[in-house]
Structure 1
Amino acid sequence: MPSFKDLLAKHGKDYDKIISELTKDTIDDRKTEEYIDEYKGKRERRSKSVGKRENKIIGEGTDKKIVEVAKLVFNFPKKIVRTAVAFCVGGDMVVSSGGDADDAFNLFKTTWEKKLKMKNNIKKFVRTVMIETKAALLFYPITEGEEDDKVMGLRVSLLDSESGEFYPHFDKYKDMDAFTRRYKTKNEDDKDVTVVEVYTAEQITTFTKESGDYQMTAKKNLFGKIPVVYAEQSQPEWEDIVTLMDAFEMRLSRLADSNDYFAEPLLKLFGEVESLPGKDKVGKMVKFKMEKNLSGDGKVSHGDAEYLTWDQMPDSTKLELEQLWNGIFSMTSTPDLSFDNVKGIGANLSGIALKMMFLDALLKAQENQETFGEAIQRMVSVVIAGIGYWESKYKKDLEEADIEVKHNDPIPDDLKEWLESLGQAKADGVMSLETIIDNNPLAKDKKKELESIRKEQQSNASREGDTIIGSQE
C-alpha cells in the first residue's frame, strides 16, 4: 500500500481521493451492524434463523386466521463473549517492571490504573472486538489546571461502531503507518460537519467538510508514534456455532408450538352427552344419556369420556436438543457454568483439578492473547510515549523499565494448597525467602512483608541465638 505521504504527493489537494484510499476496510464483507443485532438477540442473519419463521395461516377467505408461531431466542452470543472476555482479560491485572526506576514506574502504574482505568478499558476493547470484529483505543493529551499552570495528562477513548468509522492503513511491511477516523459533529450553527482525522507518527491531519470541499489542517503529534491501538478478528466470537444455534432455537420454538397445542388435554366423548359441567363448577361431572338395548334383554347402553394427552416429547427431539446444547458450548470452548452443572463440584477439589476442568477455555484464552497480548503491549508503549512528553525527566527511565502488563486467569486459586507448596519449598531449601514472599498472594506489600519477617527473625535470634534465615549479612 502507498504510505500517507505518498498519497498526499500523488493526489495533491484532491482530498476526496486521499480519504477514499484511507477509508478502505481490511475485511470486505464485514457486517458490523448485523453482528451487533445478533449479539443483542435479533435472529435474521441467515435463512434458517428463528427470526425468519413465518406465521401460520389457517382457513380461507373471511375465515382466514393468522397464528403467530414461537420465536424463542437463547442469547448464546452474549454468553460466549462474556465468558471469553473473562478468561482472556478478566483476571487480576498485574503491572510489573524489569528495571529499577521506581519513581518512573510508579508514575506509569498510577497513570495506567487510576487515570486511564485501563483494566476496564481493556475489557471493553476486547469485548467490542469479539462482537463487532474490530475496535481501537485512541490516546490523547489533555491540559489540566489554570492557564498559567498547565499540566499535561492522558485520556483514552474506545472507538467502536457508535463513535464513527475508523480504518487502519498498513505499509508494505504490514506495519500500521496511518490511522483514519471519520465522524460527524455539529458546528456553531448546529449544522452537520464531517471530520476526518488521520494519525501518523509525525502529525495529526484533520480534514473538515461543512459544505463543498474538504479543508485540511495539520498539527504535530506529541506522542511521536501513532496514539492508537487497533485490533480485529475475521468473524464474531460465536460464528462457529451459528448453524447449531439456529437449529437449537428453531427446534425449541417448534416444540413450544407443539406444547401450546397439546399441553392442555382434550376431552374425548363417546356417545350422546346429556350435560357438560361449567368451567366454574366444583365437583365436575359429565352426564350421558342412558338407552335400553333394542334387543329387549333389559340392558342399557351409555357413552364414555376420556382425556387425550401428549405424555412426553419424543426421545429423538430431547436427544437433538441436548446434543445441540453441548455442541454450542464445546465448539466455542465455553464452560457451561449453570447451577445444575456446578452444584456437584466437591469442596475438596484441588486447584490443579479445577484448572483442568476449564482447560479448554484457558487454551482459548491463550490463543486470544496472540491478538490482545500484542495490543496490550502496544498500549503500554503509547502510554509511555505520552508520559514521556509531559514528564520528560522520566522518559529514558520508562523506556528502559521493561514494563509488562499481564492478566491472570479468573479461576480462583486454592490458597491453602498454594501456601502449603510455598512452605514445603522453604522447608526443602529450594526457594529463597524473597521468592516465597513474591509468590505469596496474601502479601500485598512485598518489601514491607520481607522487612517484617527479618525483624521478627532478628528478634527471635537475639533471644535464642539462632541464625537469621534470609539475612543479607
Structure 2
Amino acid sequence: MIAVTGKVLGLAEKGEQGKVLQIEKEGNAEYLSWDHAPESVKLEIETLLELIYTCTQTPNISFSQMKGLGNLSGVALKLMFMDAHMKVENKIELFGEMFQRRLNLIKAICSKAVDTSLEAEAKLLNIEPVFKPYMPRNDKEEMDTLTTATGGKAVLSRKTAITNNLFVSDPDMELEEILKEEAKESQLDALEPTE
C-alpha cells in the first residue's frame, strides 16, 4: 500500500511497464510500513519462549542465557532447577508405576522363560525404580563446605580422590605408582648431604 501526501497529478496506465506516479511539487509517496515491527516481533518471540519454559517447568540453560550469569553458587543452581524438580516429583507417580510394571515383566520373563529354576528367587526379589533428576553441581564449593565443616581436616581419602579422577582408568595401579614415586623421592632426600 502506498501513502501519498499532496495532489496526485497522474497515474500510470494499466499494464504499463516502468510505472510512474506523478504528484505535485511538495507531495510525497511512500510505502506504508510499520517502523517498529522488528522490536515488536522480538518482544513476541521472547515472551513466547519465556512462556514455553514457564509452562513446561523447564530451566533455560541455553548458552545465551547462561553466559551472563557468571559463577553460580550451589544454592542458586538448586533454585534454578527447583521448578523442574517439582515437575519430576509430580510425574514420579505416573512413570514410577509404568517402570515398575516393566521391571515385573522382566522378572517374570527371566523366571518363567529364561530359567525356570529362578522362579522362587524372582518372587522374593524386590526391585523399585529410582528417579534422580539432573542437578548441575559446583564440586569446588561442596568440597570447601565439607572442609570448613570438619575444621580443615581431610574429607576424602586419597584412594577415593584417585578413583574419582577422570584422568585415571585404574585407581589401584595409579595409587601404587604414586606410592612408588614418593618412596623414591624420600630415598633421594635421605641420600642428599645435610649441612
Give the shorter-chain TM-score range. Answer: 0.5 to 0.7
Where do residues 272-311 of structure 1 align in structure 2 (5 Å cutoff)?
272-274=8-10, 286-288=21-23, 304-307=27-30, 308-311=32-35
Structure 2 match to 1:455: 176
The structure-2 alpha-carbon separation of the partners of 1:404 and 1:327, relative to structure 1 and needing over 3 Å to count, comes to: same
Work out the CA distance in 2 between the residues paired with 1:341 and 1:431.
35
Where do residues 411-422 of structure 1 align in structure 2 (5 Å cutoff)?
411-414=135-138, 417=140
Q: State the AA in 2 paired with 1:268.
A: V
Match of 1:428 among 153, 168, 171: 153
Q: State the AA in 2 paired with 1:362.
A: H
Work out the CA distance in 1 between the residues paired with 2:57 and 2:7.
60
Where structure 1 has 5 or more consecutive residues not aligned to the other structure, the ranges are 1-264, 290-301, 466-473
Q: CA offsets, 1:161-201, max 9 Å, x none?
A: xxxxxxxxxxxxxxxxxxxxxxxxxxxxxxxxxxxxxxxxx
1:442 aligns to what SS in structure 2? Answer: coil
Structure 2 match to 1:365: 88
Q: State the AA in 1 paired with 2:54.
A: S
2:29 aligns to what SS in structure 1? Answer: strand
2:106 corresponds to 1:383: yes
The structure-2 alpha-carbon separation of the partners of 1:431 and 1:377, relative to structure 1 and needing over 3 Å to count, comes to: farther
Work out the CA distance in 2 between the residues paired with 1:452 and 1:286.
88
Deviation at 1:368, TM superposition (A): 1.2
What number of residue pairs does the alignment pair up? 179
2:15 corresponds to 1:271: no
Q: Which has the higher helix share?
A: 2
Deviation at 1:370, TM superposition (A): 2.5
Relative to the length of structure 2, the TM-score reads: 0.55
Q: State the AA in 2 paired with 1:349.
A: L
Where structure 2 has 5 or more consecutive residues not aligned to the other structure, the ranges are 188-195
Work out the CA distance in 2 between the residues paired with 1:443 and 1:400.
41
Q: Which has the higher strand share?
A: 1
Deviation at 1:364, TM superposition (A): 0.8
Q: Is the 8 A contact 1:266 1:309 kept in 2?
A: no
Q: Is the 8 A contact 2:53 2:60 kept in 1?
A: yes
Deviation at 1:266, TM superposition (A): 1.5
Work out the CA distance in 2 between the residues paired with 1:413 and 1:334.
17
Work out the CA distance in 2 between the residues paired with 1:444 and 1:422.
25
Work out the CA distance in 2 between the residues paired with 1:455 and 1:377.
44
Structure 2 match to 1:329: 53
Where do residues 50-199 of structure 1 align in structure 2 (5 Å cutoff)?
none
Work out the CA distance in 2 between the residues paired with 1:413 and 1:356.
12
CA RMSD of aligned residues (A): 5.1
Work out the CA distance in 1 between the residues paired with 2:55 and 2:135.
21
The structure-2 alpha-carbon separation of the partners of 1:421 and 1:376, relative to structure 1 and needing over 3 Å to count, comes to: farther
Q: State the AA in 1 paired with 2:153.
A: D
Where do residues 245-256 of structure 1 align in structure 2 (5 Å cutoff)?
none
The structure-2 alpha-carbon separation of the partners of 1:378 and 1:279, relative to structure 1 and needing over 3 Å to count, comes to: farther
Deviation at 1:309, TM superposition (A): 3.7
Relative to the length of structure 1, the TM-score reads: 0.28
The structure-2 alpha-carbon separation of the partners of 1:394 and 1:351, relative to structure 1 and needing over 3 Å to count, comes to: farther
Q: State the AA in 2 paired with 1:391.
A: D
Q: CA offsets, 1:128-182, max 9 Å, x none?
A: xxxxxxxxxxxxxxxxxxxxxxxxxxxxxxxxxxxxxxxxxxxxxxxxxxxxxxx
